[in-house]
Amino acid sequence: MHPESLMMSYGYKPEWSEGAIKSPIFQTSTFVFKSAEEGKAFFELAYGLRKQKAGEEMGLIYSRINNPDLEILEDRLCLWDEAEDCAVFESGMSAITTVLLEFLNPGDLLLFSTPLYGGTDHFIRKILTRFGVHVRSFSVGQCSEEAIRIVEESGLADRLAMVYIETPANPTNDLIDIRCSKSIARHFEREDRPVYLAVDNTYMGPLWQHPLKHGADLVLYSATKYIGGHSDVIAGACLGSSPMIARVKGLRTFLGNMAGPWTGWLLLRSLETLKARMDVQAANAGNVAEFLNHHPKVEKVYYLGNLKETDGAAYEIRQRQCLSNGAMISFDVRGGESEAFRFLNALGLIKLAVSLGSTESLAEHPATMTHADVSPDEKRALSITEKMIRLSIGVENPDDIIADISQALDHV
Ligand SMILES: *Cc1c(COP(=O)(O)O)cnc(C)c1O
């Protein structure tokens, strides 16, 4: 069956909980063992002291290690990306930082695409480097010869351990080729030295882009965005092969940044409507982009649906790796910061807030808000100018969203 058909039931049996059709919130810190022998067996598996026997399942021990709400959530998230395993976290940042800390050692080189989510960019440049990890970046269009040259010129080609990308890039919707990023990793891989590809799929996932199918080893989410989808919970997830997720869960146990049962339960509820919400959001975004494309006060629209065959590589990447044009649109108003602010201050239905992927439409000013920390030079190179507005399109009636944008543009 399709994932959307399984989101209400997969991984949970009502007889476990007095016939309750929905999984209860297992608000408990610890679990009672049936016997001392059982407790011993569970710990042997939890700490990897011996191999799992055929048919043996890891039991419940303590909610920092596992909890039913998290396990059911992890099983359901695997269905969308067709991943072997998943680990859920209390935030997108904790999923991302745990992966970086688990797969990078002092002296290793990390190659990453720009622009990245601000928090990720800060952690890579300011914190990872404090632990002796070397970092280099490449930008859209620099795949693959230029990216390979950047690694070679670092003098650390034999220490490349991970390629980390985010596509589409925020806020410009520029596409990074997942397959090409994997080929960079392969180029530097040695038999005894794997080079992993990790992809932050928050902007398009888990429905509209499946990085594992294009060669990624790990997929990361801020589940705060589409997966949570109601602007009421912060959470994250990481998916990949069983051995890799076992390593991620191992470090999660010791950092203690797993999601709590209440967060897990909220996400289970959100997953039931994920497909329905995202379908409506993408359809609404198509209508909004069409309106913006023809508005005299709009100079340029950054939207995946605007890519045409004549756009060459970007068009080909979208055709290959994106299953939808998504629900994120950026645009430049004619003018500068004051025109952009006049637009933002005049919005009524659409709320002026950062974040994305939620039921309500949101608008923000990347240059002074989400990307305030990006250097002026880099902002210019990435086309993040004072006149740019970023929209996250929600599930409202498209006529009302467009009417709100239209009246706000009248104030420009
Ligand atoms: C929001 C976001 C994050 C960080 O996630 P949190 O849940 O806020 O910790 C990471 N990557 C992208 C692309 C995001 O949009």
Residue 253, both tokens: 């146990």
The total of other beta-carbon atoms located within 10 Å of residue 232's CB is 11
Q: Token match 């929209």: residue? A: 391
Mean of pLDDT over the chain: 96
Cα–Cα nearest to 357, from 284, 292, 289 = 284
DSSP 26-88: ---SB---SSHHHHHHHHHHHTTSSPPPTT------BTTT--HHHHHHHHHHHHHHT-SEEEE
Q: Is 202 in the pocket of ligand 1 (CB under 6 A)?
A: yes
Dihedral (CA of 57, 63, 69, 74) sign:
negative
CATH number of 3-28+63-271: 3.40.640.10
pTM greater than 0.75: yes
Which residue's CA is minimally distant from atom 11 of ligand 1?
Answer: 117
Examine the pLDDT at 384 and tell me if it is beyond 90: yes
Angle among Cα 276, 278, 283 to the nearest 5 degrees reads: 100
The mean per-residue pLDDT over the stretch 114-121 comes to 92
Q: Is 200 a catalytic residue?
A: yes
Q: What does the pLDDT read at residue 190? A: 94
Q: What φ, ψ does residue 224 adopt, rounded to 5°?
A: -60, -25
Q: Which of 12, 76, 108, 117 is catalytic?
A: 117
For residues 171 and 388, the answer to whether their CB atoms sit within 8 Å is yes
Q: What does the pLDDT read at residue 54? A: 87
For residues 249 and 89, the answer to whether their CB atoms sit within 8 Å is no
Examine the pLDDT at 47 and tell me if it is beyond 90: no
Q: Is 119 in the pocket of ligand 1 (CB under 6 A)?
A: yes
Residue 282 is inside which H or E element, if any? helix 274-293
Q: How confident is the model at residue 274 (pLDDT cuts 50, 70, 90)?
A: very high
Q: Is 62 a catalytic residue?
A: no
Q: Is 252 a catalytic residue?
A: no
Q: Is 236 in the pocket of ligand 1 (CB under 6 A)?
A: yes
Rg, C-alpha atoms of the chain: 22
The DSSP call for residue 360 is S
Q: Strands 388-392 and 362-364, how do they pair?
A: antiparallel
* Strand partners for 391: 329, 363
DSSP 75-97: HHHHHHHT-SEEEEESSHHHHHH
Q: What does the pLDDT read at residue 30? A: 97
Give the integer Cα–Cα distance in Å for 359 and 231.
8
Residue 279, both tokens: 């379908």
Q: What does the pLDDT read at residue 77? A: 98
Q: Is 167 in the pocket of ligand 1 (CB under 6 A)?
A: no
Q: How confident is the model at residue 310 (pLDDT cuts 50, 70, 90)?
A: very high
Q: Token match 């995202």: residue? A: 278
* Strand partners for 258: 89
Q: What φ, ψ does residue 302 adopt, rounded to 5°?
A: -105, 100
Q: What does the pLDDT read at residue 373? A: 86
Q: Is 354 in the pocket of ligand 1 (CB under 6 A)?
A: no
Architecture per CATH, 274-409: Alpha-Beta Complex (3.90)
Q: What does the pLDDT read at residue 340? A: 98
Q: How confident is the model at residue 55 (pLDDT cuts 50, 70, 90)?
A: confident
Which residue's CA is minimally distant from atom 6 of ligand 1?
Answer: 92
Which residue's CA is minimally distant from atom 4 of ligand 1?
Answer: 92
Which residue's CA is minimally distant from atom 8 of ligand 1?
Answer: 92
- Which residue pairs, CB below 8 angstroms and at least 24 apart, start in 128-131? 128/100, 128/104, 131/106
Question: How many angstroms separate the alpha carbon of residue 366 from the centre of ligand 1?
Answer: 15
Residues 138-183: pLDDT tens digits? 988 887 899 999 999 999 999 999 999 999 999 999 999 999 999 9
Residue 103 is inside which H or E element, if any? helix 92-103
Give the integer Cα–Cα distance in Å for 131 and 144.
28
Q: What φ, ψ does residue 322 adopt, rounded to 5°?
A: -110, 130
Q: Is 225 a catalytic residue?
A: yes
Q: CA 186 → CA 3, 48, 90, 302, distances in Å?
A: 31, 30, 32, 32
Q: Which of 64, 186, 300, 334 is catalytic?
A: 64
In the chain, what is the greatest distance between 2 CA atoms, to the nearest angstrom?
Answer: 74
Examine the pLDDT at 57 and tell me if it is beyond 90: no
Residue 383, both tokens: 């086309």
Q: What does the pLDDT read at residue 158? A: 96
Q: How confident is the model at residue 76 (pLDDT cuts 50, 70, 90)?
A: very high
Q: CA 316 → CA 23, 133, 147, 189, distances in Å?
A: 43, 34, 19, 26
The mean per-residue pLDDT over the stretch 347-373 comes to 96
Range list for CATH 3.90.1150.10 in the chain: 274-409
Q: What does the pLDDT read at residue 144? A: 84
Give the integer Cα–Cα distance in Å for 265 and 259.
10
The mean per-residue pLDDT over the stretch 341-351 comes to 98
Range list for CATH 3.40.640.10 in the chain: 3-28+63-271
